[in-house]
Amino acid sequence: MLVPNMLDAAKRGKTEVKYIYENRDYKNNSSDRKYFIRTYGCQMNVHDSEEISGILESLGYTKTENYEESDFIILNTCAIRENVHDKVFGFLGRCKHLKKKNPNLLLAICGCMAQEEVVVKEIKEKYPFIDIVFGTHNINELPNMLENYYGKQKIKVYSIEGNVIEFNNHYKRDSNITAWVNIMYGCDKFCTYCIVPYTRGKQRSRKMEDIIKEIEELVHKGYNEITLLGQNVNAYGKDLKEKISFSHLLEKVSQTKIPRIRFVTSHPWDFTDEMIDVIANNPNIMPYIHLPVQSGSNKILKKMNRNYSKEEYLILFNKIKEKIKNVSITTDIIVGFPEEEEEDFLETLEVVKYCKFDGAFTFIFSPRAGTPAFKMKNTITKEEATNRLHRLNKEVNKYSKESNLKLINTVEKVLVLGTSEKNKSKVYGYTENMKLVNIEAKKDVIGKIIDVKITDAKSFSLDGEIKD
């Protein structure tokens, strides 16, 4: 369990968690210190890591990609499914011996796992060599924590719900071409399987002026793309005194001169007709929508507390396809949710066949302590769930490839982001509707939006060449 009556506490917007850590005697010599940060989880965490990096660099730390030579190792963790837990503790086990070589080495855990009381208890009992733990609400306290860490023997790290960082210019962004912009924190939806409302707290939207100001600065710095971030971007504004909708915000963002606007993630429940019109009518809002369906069975959708039926999802899906030119739609699907029968799963497959999604992230249900689904009777064996996942992935990949094949010989506008990982003679970028393209081209196109002729298609990427 996270905290007693966690559901109530989270709904009230309060998390009464206090983390107290014993520290050892370290010298404060941060000027030559190197930090290494590893990030698990969603874009929210990726962006939080940019904030942590910015803070550390402002304190004089420099970044290293080699954890063995670092003085401060930070693991920014994810709690959405069980599997990250083992990866994090496996990695920390490997870090333990480094402390013998470098007695000044600090180890920190932050992110969503740090919000789980059960994990904190485990750290206290089994991993005394972990020096610092801080939650998702404590990032801006990092300088304070480090200062106290060196000066005193003990440090308190606590989690306060409801604090919104209005405007932060500490970020050390990973890219100077495309940038993440938080528009809200937390989530109020309480899907029964999901831990996010507990690890990230209640929905708190940032003020529209702050968001626009941040984007204008990015435009000024020469960024070509921004992605608006939130667990439910299209619920934006519902918690603000002044009622502002996501479509209104989108319209305002589109009036800045940023060439490309993206946003993740949209919840079907909050997807309005007005939003569809704003996307359709503003060419700098990209025609790409991530619209998680989770299941095709109404029985399961109800148990998940998703608040829409299969039929409502399909009506929305069709409306989006009809109104937004060349739109691509991707989704998330969970298999093996408690009491998912074969017939429920077949309904999910039917939805996939009908929608022919451009891509889908597929998961086996992972029970998370403290969420309502954790207590639901789970009758599905691991083998059954794995088998469903394989069958689902087969369909998903088929349609993903089909949608890519359709693009062969078309000319697409691609924002080039960097050198291709696999083939250093190529560059890579994304089409307007978020298809990854590897391009035979010189490096001087990096950062630019160029016309690319698509020459080949695979399941997860395209090949292309610069159009003369």
Which stretch in 127-135, 201-209, 317-325, 362-370 sits in contact with ligand SAH by CB under 6 A? 362-370
User: Pattern 294-333, binding to ligand SAH, x per CB under 6 A?
Assistant: x-------------------------------------x-
Compute the least distance from the CB of residue 238 to ligand SF4, in Å. Answer: 13
In angstroms, what CA-CA distances link 287 with 117, 254, 276? 40, 13, 10
**Of ligand SF4, ligand SAH, ligand F3S, none, which one sits near residue 447, judging by CB under 5 to 8 A according to partner kind?**
none
Which CB sits closer to ligand SF4, 189 or 426? 189
> What is the smallest separation between the CB atom of 122 and ligand SAH, expressed in angstroms?
19
Among the residue ranges 87-95, 177-185, 248-256, 364-372, the one whose residues contact ligand SAH (CB under 6 A): 364-372
List the structure tokens of 411.
């000319």
Nearest residue (CB) to ligand F3S, 44 versus 437:
44
Find the binder of ligand SAH among 76, 138, 224, 265 (CB under 6 A). Answer: 265
91 within 8 A of 38, measured Cβ to Cβ: yes
With CA atoms as reference, report the closest residue to 183 among 238, 241, 130, 134.
Answer: 238
- To ligand SAH, the closest distance from the beta carbon of 196 in angstroms equals 6
| Distance of alpha carbon 414 from alpha carbon 449, whole angstroms | 5
Q: How far apart are CB 276 and ligand SAH at their closest, in Å?
A: 18
Are 339 and 376 in contact by the 8 Å Cβ rule? The answer is: yes
Q: Kindly tell me which of 41 and 338 has the beta carbon lying closer to ligand F3S.
A: 41
Q: Which residues neighbour 429 within 8 Å (Cβ) at sequence distance 6 or greater? A: 414, 415, 416, 417, 436, 437, 439, 450, 452
Where on the chain is the footprint of ligand F3S (CB under 6 A)? 41-42, 44-45, 78-80, 111-112, 195-196, 199-200
Q: Which does 190 bind (CB under 5 to 8 A by kind): ligand SAH, ligand SF4, ligand F3S, none?
A: ligand SF4
Q: Are the beta carbons of 392 and 386 closer than 8 angstroms? A: no
Could you tell which of ligand SF4, ligand F3S, ligand SAH, none binds residue 197, using a CB distance below 5 to 8 A set by kind? ligand SF4
What's the order of all strands across the beta sheet hosting 328-335?
A: 288-290, 328-335, 359-364
Beta bridge partners of 77: 111
Closest to ligand SAH by CB, 223 or 308:
308
CA–CA separation, 393 and 387 (whole Å)? 10
- Phi/psi region, residue 249 (left: phi>0; alpha: psi -120 to 50; beta: rest), is alpha
Which partner from the list ligand SF4, ligand F3S, ligand SAH, none does 396 bind, CB cut-off 5 to 8 Å by kind?
none
Q: Is residue 292 involved in binding ligand SAH (CB under 6 A)? A: yes
Nearer to ligand SAH, 146 or 385 (CB): 385
Is 200 near ligand SAH (CB under 6 A)? Answer: no
Which residues bind to ligand SF4, rule: CB under 6 A? 187, 189-191, 194, 196-197, 231-232, 267
CB-based burial, 358-387: b 16+ in 10 Å, e otherwise: bbbebbbbbebbbbbbbebebebeeebbee
> In the sheet that 260-264 helps form, which strands lie side by side, from edge to edge?
178-182, 225-229, 260-264
Does position 80 bind ligand SAH by CB under 6 A?
A: yes
Q: Please give the single-letter amino acid code of residue 120.
A: V
365 binds, among ligand F3S, ligand SF4, ligand SAH, none (CB under 5 to 8 A by kind): ligand SAH
* Strand 34-39 versus strand 411-419 pairing type: unpaired
366 binds, among ligand SAH, ligand F3S, ligand SF4, none (CB under 5 to 8 A by kind): ligand SAH
Task: Name which of 171 and 198 has its Cβ closer to ligand SF4.
Answer: 198
Angle at 45 between CA 34 and CA 6, to 5 degrees: 120
3-state secondary structure of 213: helix
Of the two residues 10 and 215, which places its CB atom closer to ligand SF4 in the complex? 10
Nearer to ligand F3S, 142 or 316 (CB): 142
Using DSSP bridges, classify how beta strands 106-111 and 132-134 pair: parallel, antiparallel or unpaired. parallel
CA dist 348 to 182, 295, 300, 364, 388, Å? 32, 5, 10, 13, 10
The count of chain residues that interact with ligand SAH, using the rule CB under 6 A, is 17
User: Which option in ligand F3S, ligand SF4, ligand SAH, none does residue 81 bind, with CB closer than 5 to 8 A by kind?
Assistant: ligand SAH
Nearer to ligand F3S, 80 or 427 (CB): 80
Q: What are the residues facing 417 on neighbouring strands?
A: none
By CB under 6 A, residue 224 contacts ligand SAH? no
Joined together, the tokens standing for residue 407 give: 């693009």
Instruction: Name the minimum Å distance from CB 118 to ligand F3S.
Output: 14
Maximum Cα interatomic distance, the chain, rounded to a whole number of Å:
65
85 binds ligand SAH (CB under 6 A): no
| 368 near ligand SAH (CB under 6 A) | yes
Take residue 468 and report the two structure tokens written for it. 């003369």
Residues that bind ligand SAH (CB under 6 A): 80-81, 193-194, 196, 231-232, 265, 267, 292, 294, 332, 334, 363, 365-366, 368
